[in-house]
Structure 1
Amino acid sequence: MKNNISLLVLLFICLSLNAQSYKFETVIDLETTDVISQGNTGTCWSFSTSSFLESEIIRITGKKIDLSEMYTVRNTYPKKAWNYIMRQGKTQFSDGGLAHDVLNSVKDHGLVPAFAFTGLEENATRHNHSEMLTVLRGLLNTYTKDVKKPLSPKWKQVTESVLDIYLGKNVETFNYEGVQYTPQSFLEFTKINPDDYVSLTSFSHQPFYTSFILNIPDNFSNGSFYNIPIEEMIKVANNALKKGYTIALDCDVSESTFTANPGMAIIPEDGNVDLKDLTEIVAEKEITQAYRQQEFENFNTTDDHLMHITGLVKDQNGNIYYKVKNSWGKNSERVANNGFIYMSEAYFKLKMISITLNKNVLDKKYHKILN
């Protein structure tokens, strides 16, 4: 009996030693601004890409500037409204968008620091666009409900008035560090060139090494994406990070194995894994191009959320994860890792919709495609 007990104790110790919970070590940690919350809005596209541009400004100039996400949102809504009106209401009108919408706004309207345009109503400390979106949608539907009648020329003016009420009037000049700027002159000050950035994707329903318009609901502006195989996408992303360039990321976060607490995103072989109960490192699925395509076409992978990749970490077994900056805040019981997510390569390969990065970091073999 004593021998049996001793064997059981030894077995328990061995199992306990092998069942190690995840422990992460930094591999690459690129500089970025603080994690903030997008509040009750669907404007992750602006928060993530603004954060991406903030890191680009740090890389290029060494200056840490908190950009206004809402200035971009304010200048993108009229474009969304135009698209909805011209399609006679036969398309989506929402607060969603993509990284290229930020770059389009930057090119057309410049940049401003956060303090110059907060987008917050008086005394508010948190963004909440639910009422504004309802009002805008109802307004635009009023203009599109009877397409047999001539469209009122006042629709643009009325739309702008609603945006002025909820987000504020567009800023024309402001002072930054004792100097007066316009949004365009401030863009010049940041050294950001919107034409330096490219969006990449990886889907086999279109030829690789060509560009195409990705048919997802939030692509209201019909942005084009350069298509490369998923294994090359991993190499592109890793190479960019190693060279000191961060990445804007569009991906699906609807999986139960993506969670802000404990701040991880993985694709376990065992589909019943609960991240909150993990006591050991689990094996992950092998992700192929065909499986990725299948999950996209059956809507298991959808365009949910945009974030910002700022580095790499590894677990104690040497497995690599992307350090992903989220926009759900960091001072909450529901958020771990100070607002960052550690995303495995398997999750990235399966659930990434697209990435946006500085095209100058790409290998020369892609330059002909981009031109």
Structure 2
Amino acid sequence: MKKVSLILSLFSVLVGISQPYEFQTIKEIPCTPVISQGITGTCWSFSTTSFLEAEIIRLTGKKIDLSEMYTVRNTYPKKAENYVMRQGKAQFSEGGLSHDVINSIREFGLVPNSVYNGINGEENKHNHTELQALLEGMLKVFVENPNKKLSSNWKPSVQAVLDIYLGKNPTEFIFEEKKYTPKSFLNYTKINPADYVSLTSFTDQAYYSSFIINIPDNFSNGSYYNLPLDELILNIDEALEKGFTLAMDCDVSEPYFSGKYGIAVVPENEIDNKTILTEIKPEKNITSEFRQQEFENLSTQDDHLMHIVGKVKDQKGNIYYKVKNSWGSENLGNDGFIHMSVSYLKLKTISVLVHKEGLMTKTKKALGL
């Protein structure tokens, strides 16, 4: 009898140690459905467009499927000019950041996806493999300057390729039986590009000031307000509590980030790198100094952008952010959303974009907003 009791006790201990995740919603802000960016490197547009869609819901109550590719189409020439005028001494890639979307809508406005989906020709989904290779190869020829003088054809050539692969920019269109231009449609959505701010946290820069983050995709030299790490987290929590979502730039290259399981966590012990994706395990305590170290040794890089839309907790009370991804929902954990722990966000999030009214009062005052 004692042996049976001992076995049952050991079983109970083991069950207590190995606990599969059970999530309960704490806060969920309305957003549009998870979709896929396809075979493209345009997560920056998908995530920030999703963020804008949530903003439109918040501001107007309307659910509008915006065109991600309209912004991509209008940002490519900016990246091409940066590359050519720097004579190839800059990155030219599919990547970008949230402020590139804000810059684009400020200059070019917005259009619905039904008007411009960016799928031209024989494709039935987004695939920019050929487009990117063709543009990059063409720009390298212009930079190499075989005629010893930069051809005036380079800008029209970029536009022509984009027209072929993504489609020509619409100038007027009908939406819900009314005629709009991209600029008048932006006004219709109530989105004001001046209302959005980018936040980050680095120890090598002065707090409550802005600076340009040195990351490859920041071709447009966007500035970020620098906050102490704990205050950055508090502002993310404040925004969510007020009903504001956030676009985020982060690193998803670690083995403890999984689209398959819909989990992003930071194990205290490396031995738990795999098991922590399905079971609750102790997590590493993240300090601002460790965050800075991991960024400077390139363990943390900006390789993906997503959209924070809420918070959940597990059965032990641990808090996670509900993050909308752009890898689709089929065969992925949590229906294509990622449940990201506080530790992971502290360590691996480069920056967030948020409406300035979502910030804490003391932070707004310190930043002069």
TM range, smaller chain: over 0.9
Give the match for residue 355 of structure 1: 352
1:344 aligns to 2:341 (yes or no):
yes
- Aligned counterpart, 1:8: 7
CA contact (8 A) 1:262 1:275 kept: no
> Residue 272 of structure 2: SS of its match in structure 1?
coil
Amino acid at match of 2:359: L
Which residue of structure 1 lines up, in the alignment, with residue 111 of structure 2? 112
How far is the alpha carbon of 1:15 from its aligned partner? Answer: 2.3
Report the CA distance between 1:149 and its aligned residue.
Answer: 2.1
Q: 2 CA distance for matches of 1:157 and 1:148?
A: 18
1:55 corresponding residue in structure 2? 54
| 2:172 alignment partner in structure 1 | 173
Q: Distance in 2 between matches of 1:279 and 1:192?
A: 39
Pick which of 244-253 and 118-127 moved more.
118-127
The answer on 1:367 being equivalent to 2:368 is no
* Residue pair 1:320, 1:344 contacting (<8 A) in 2 also: yes
Cα 1:87–1:370 change in 2 (3 A) is farther
- Residues 119, 166 of structure 2: 8 Å contact kept: yes
- Cα deviation per residue 1:43-99 (whole Å; 9 max; x = unaligned)? 000000000000000000000000000000000000000100110000100000000
Any idea what SS the aligned residue of 1:115 has? coil
Contact 2:263 2:277 in 1 (8 A): no
* SS in structure 2 of the partner of residue 295 of structure 1: helix
CA contact (8 A) 2:121 2:165 kept: no
Deviations 1:110-152 (A, max 9, x none): 0000010011023422100011000000111011113892211
Deviates more, 1:11-20 or 1:217-226: 11-20
Deviation string, structure 1 residues 145-179 (Cα, Å, up to 9, x no partner):
13892211111001100100110100111110000
How much has 1:207 moved relative to structure 2?
0.9
Cα distance, 1:19 vs structure 2: 2.7
Give the Cα–Cα distance (whole angstroms) in 1 for the partners of residues 324 and 277 of structure 2.
22
Distance 1:29 1:23, change over 3 A: same
Within 2, Cα distance between the matches of 1:98 and 1:25? Answer: 31
C-alpha contact 1:70 1:167 (8 A) present in aligned 2: yes
Once the two structures are overlaid, the 10-residue window that deviates more, 355-364 or 178-187, is 355-364
With over 3 angstroms needed to count, the CA separation of the structure-2 counterparts of 1:279 and 1:310, relative to structure 1, is closer
Deviations 1:281-311 (A, max 9, x none): 1110000000000000000000010000000
Identity %: 57
Q: Is the 8 A contact 2:265 2:277 kept in 1?
A: no
Q: Which whole-Å deviations, capped at 9, do the CAs of 1:329-353 have from their partners, x for residues lacking one?
A: 001x2x1111100000000000000
Structure 2 SS opposite 1:199: strand
Contact 1:19 1:279 in 2 (8 A): no
- 1:22, CA displacement in angstroms? 1.1
CA-to-partner distance for each residue in 1:234-274, whole Å, 9 max, x for gaps?
10000000000000000000010000121000001011224
TM-score calculated relative to the size of structure 2 = 0.97
Structure 1: gaps of 5 or more residues: none
* Partner amino acid, structure 2, of 1:180: K
Q: Shift in Å at residue 17 of structure 1? A: 4.0
Q: Which amino acid aligns with 1:218?
A: D
SS of the aligned residue for 2:320 comes to strand
Amino acid at match of 1:298: N
CA contact 2:256–2:276 (8 Å) conserved in 1:
no
Residues 246-285 of structure 1 mapped to structure 2, 5 A cutoff: 246-275=245-274, 280-285=279-284
SS in 2 for 1:222: coil
> Which residue matches 1:293?
292
* C-alpha separation in 1, matches of 2:275 and 2:118: 36
Superposed CA RMSD: 1.4
**Number of the residue aligned with 1:94:** 93
Give the SS at the match of 2:7.
helix
CA-CA distance at 1:4 after TM superposition: 2.7
Q: Distance in 2 between matches of 1:5 and 1:274?
A: 34
Which residue of the partner structure matches residue 209 of structure 1? Answer: 208
Q: Work out the CA distance in 2 between the residues paired with 1:71 and 1:161.
A: 15
- Aligned-partner Cα distance in 2 for 1:6–1:279: 29
Q: Is the 8 A contact 2:267 2:273 kept in 1?
A: no
Q: What aligned pairs does 1:112-261 form with structure 2 within 5 A after superposition?
A: 112-146=111-145, 149-261=148-260
TM-score (norm 1): 0.96
Q: CA deviation at 1:361?
A: 1.8
SS at match of 1:218: coil
The residue type paired with residue 137 of structure 2 is G
Any unmatched runs of 5+ in structure 2? none
Q: Is the 8 A contact 2:27 2:311 kept in 1?
A: yes
Aligned residues: 368
Residues 264 and 277, structure 2, Cα contact 8 Å, conserved in 1:
no
Residue of structure 1 equivalent to 2:66: 67
Match of 1:309? Answer: 308
Q: Give the letter aligned to residue 81 of structure 2.
A: W
Match of residue 325 from structure 1: 324
- Aligned to 2:100, the other structure's residue is in SS state helix
Q: Distance in 1 between matches of 2:38 and 2:293?
A: 33
Could you list the structure 1 runs, at least 4 aligned residues long, displaced by more than 6 angstroms after superposition.
none
**Structure 2 CA distance for partners of 1:143 and 1:233, relative to 1, 3 Å:** same
